[in-house]
């Protein structure tokens, strides 16, 4: 407040239309009924030393019109996938979001609700989240799933912590072909108490050879992790072999997935995965400059695994009179009950993003997911072929099967500059992977999605030919 009125009280003005009782008359009436002299009196227990006389200056408030105008002005400085063709990859992709997904997640009953603590009045979100869990299980070939974690990277962090708990071991075997930021988050999550054994990828195939995994696995191994497809867009083929090796040694197989591939690629559950993590962003979520996203987390139904799940889990149950219903369950794993012995600290998750993914998967169904994968495959393979025809460029850099993204390499191109020159031609590619992999300084990541037509792909090829 700027100053006080004659009665020694804060001057009150209805400031925003958001606070219904904030006018002199209502405040007087309420204070009168309470027998309290002023609003300040309600803060009398705050030590004088800490109490501000005036609000810190964050500028003057605006009405809806002016705030919208200011936001549009600032955000108008961005360029992005609405006015450029986006061929970027690396953990976030410009997939198509069906309009129905926006429609459902825009329903106030879903987006303004809290975590369903009162199940009787929250059957809608509970069933939607149960269906999300069920759809994720079908897609990944697993049996149990939680109702979301923050993103793929934190889901990996939680999977590693879970593997350490379940096996009571301390070694994590991870591939260098995984997303570098995910491995950074993994390190943050497990701290100094676990040993991380990083296995290098084969320089010509871009995938981790099975014999290197077998060598790294021993009786201290808590988990082996592989991405499917990995950071370079290559489906790591040794998943089954790695699963055999780690199972023989008594550890867990953790597979990270891009779910947009699972309409055409085998489910990790069929290949021996014990835990599947992944990024739900392709399932009806926007890129949104990196978030909010959706951490997928699914396991086999063994009690030793599901009792150690991190995060909220929805279960089906019954009412006293036999009706089907849904509740949050296995809560004794969780922080509000188990405190420092909880399986995770997670509370707020990405529930609305999980509901979006449920709508997406329900809408697409088997034919949608299959044709999604097929269209991406056709686009990606066409693009690989056409780019490789450009003199001086090589695509894909690795001699392996790629799904939707791949590395393009060129000895004479400064990709950081080329990426910017392409922006001028209305095209986004990247990231340049030399920032994480010094030996791949000549390579940039290019991804395609179902949004791209042949004309878009041809435009990219033409532009690449010009800027290289």
Number of amino acids touching other proteins (CB under 8 A): 212
Least distance CB 402 / other proteins (angstroms)? 10
Report d(CA 81, CA 73) in Å as an integer: 18
What sections of 327-414 are H helices per DSSP? 335-338, 351-388
Identify the residue whose tokens are 């997939």: 95
Q: Which helix (H) or strand (E) holds 208?
A: none
Quick one: 213 or 249, whose CB is closer to other proteins?
213
Report d(CA 380, CA 430) in Å as an integer: 15
Q: Given candidates 24, 200, 324, 466, which one binds other proteins under the rule CB under 8 A?
A: 324
Report d(CA 171, CA 160) in Å as an integer: 10
CA dihedral 381, 387, 392, 394 (to 10 degrees): -20
Of residues 210-269, those binding other proteins (CB under 8 A): 235, 237, 262-267
User: Looking at residue 430, what DSSP letter applies?
Assistant: E
Q: Does 95 bind other proteins (CB under 8 A)?
A: no
User: Looking at residue 333, what DSSP letter applies?
Assistant: G
Least distance CB 156 / other proteins (angstroms)? 10
Q: Which helix (H) or strand (E) holds 279?
A: strand 275-279
Least distance CB 14 / other proteins (angstroms)? 8
Of residues 379-438, those binding other proteins (CB under 8 A): 379, 381-382, 385, 401, 419-420, 423, 428, 430-431
Report the Cα 180 to chain-centroid distance in Å. Answer: 15
Distances (CA, A) of 221 to 184, 187, 299, 386: 19, 16, 18, 43
**Span interacting with other proteins, options 152-160, 199-207, 391-399, 460-468, rule CB under 8 A:** 152-160
Q: Does 152 bind other proteins (CB under 8 A)?
A: yes
Least distance CB 217 / other proteins (angstroms)? 22
Residue 202 DSSP SS3: coil
Q: Does 125 bind other proteins (CB under 8 A)?
A: yes
Of residues 177-196, those binding other proteins (CB under 8 A): 179, 181-182, 184-185, 187-189, 191-193
**Span interacting with other proteins, options 72-80, 201-209, 213-221, 245-253, rule CB under 8 A:** 72-80
Q: Given candidates 374, 389, 399, 466, which one binds other proteins under the rule CB under 8 A?
A: 374
Q: Given candidates 128, 217, 418, 464, which one binds other proteins under the rule CB under 8 A?
A: 128
Report d(CA 379, CA 282) in Å as an integer: 16
Q: Does 350 bind other proteins (CB under 8 A)?
A: yes
Q: Given candidates 171, 252, 287, 387, which one binds other proteins under the rule CB under 8 A?
A: 287
Q: Does 330 bind other proteins (CB under 8 A)?
A: yes
Least distance CB 203 / other proteins (angstroms)? 21
Q: Given candidates 6, 7, 8, 121, which one binds other proteins under the rule CB under 8 A?
A: 121
Nearest residue to 290 via CA among 383, 389, 179, 414: 179
Tell me the sheet residues that pair with 327.
315
Peptide bond into 431 cis (omega under 30): yes
Quick one: 122 or 177, whose CB is closer to other proteins?
122
């Amino acid at each position: 407040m700027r100053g006080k009125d004659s009665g020694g009280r804060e001057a009150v003005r209805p400031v925003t239309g958001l606070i219904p009782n904030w006018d002199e008359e209502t405040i007087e009436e309420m204070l009168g009924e309470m027998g309290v002299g002023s609003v300040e009196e309600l803060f009398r227990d705050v030590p004088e030393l800490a109490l501000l006389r005036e609000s810190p200056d964050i500028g003057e408030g605006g009405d809806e019109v002016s705030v919208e105008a200011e936001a549009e002005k600032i955000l108008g400085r961005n360029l992005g996938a609405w006015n450029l063709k986006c061929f970027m990859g690396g953990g976030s992709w410009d997939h198509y979001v069906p309009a129905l997904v926006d429609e459902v997640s825009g329903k106030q009953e879903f987006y303004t609700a809290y975590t369903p603590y009162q199940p009787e009045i929250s059957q809608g979100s509970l069933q939607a989240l149960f269906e999300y869990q069920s759809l994720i299980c079908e897609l990944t070939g697993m049996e149990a799933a939680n109702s979301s974690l923050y993103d793929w990277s934190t889901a990996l962090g939680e999977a590693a912590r879970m593997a350490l708990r379940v096996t009571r071991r301390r070694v994590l075997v991870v591939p260098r072909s995984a997303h570098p930021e995910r491995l950074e988050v993994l390190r943050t999550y497990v701290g100094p108490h676990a040993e991380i054994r990083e296995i290098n990828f084969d320089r010509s195939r871009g995938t981790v050879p099975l014999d290197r995994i077998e060598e790294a696995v021993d009786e201290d191994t808590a988990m082996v992790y592989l991405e499917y497809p990995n950071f370079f867009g290559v489906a790591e083929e040794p998943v089954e072999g790695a699963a055999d090796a780690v199972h023989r040694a008594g550890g867990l197989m953790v597979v990270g997935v891009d779910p947009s591939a699972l309409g055409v690629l085998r489910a990790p559950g069929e290949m021996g995965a014990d835990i599947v993590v992944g990024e739900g962003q392709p399932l009806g979520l926007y890129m949104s400059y990196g978030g909010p996203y959706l951490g997928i987390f699914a396991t086999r139904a063994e009690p030793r695994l599901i009792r150690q799940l991190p995060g909220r889990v929805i279960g089906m149950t019954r009412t006293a009179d036999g009706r089907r219903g849904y509740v949050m369950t296995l809560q004794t794993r969780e922080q509000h009950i188990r405190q420092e012995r909880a399986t995770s600290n997670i509370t707020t998750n990405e529930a609305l993003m999980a509901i979006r993914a449920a709508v997406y998967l329900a809408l697409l169904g088997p034919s949608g997911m299959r044709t999604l994968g097929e269209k991406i495959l056709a686009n990606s393979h066409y693009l690989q072929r056409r780019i490789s025809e450009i003199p001086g460029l090589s695509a894909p850099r690795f001699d392996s099967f790629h799904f939707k993204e791949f590395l393009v390499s060129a000895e004479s191109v400064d990709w950081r500059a080329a990426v910017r020159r392409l922006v001028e031609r209305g095209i986004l590619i990247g990231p340049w992977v030399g920032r994480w992999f010094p030996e791949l300084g000549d390579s940039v990541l290019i991804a395609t999605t179902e949004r791209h037509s042949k004309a878009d792909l041809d435009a990219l090829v033409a532009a690449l030919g010009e800027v290289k």
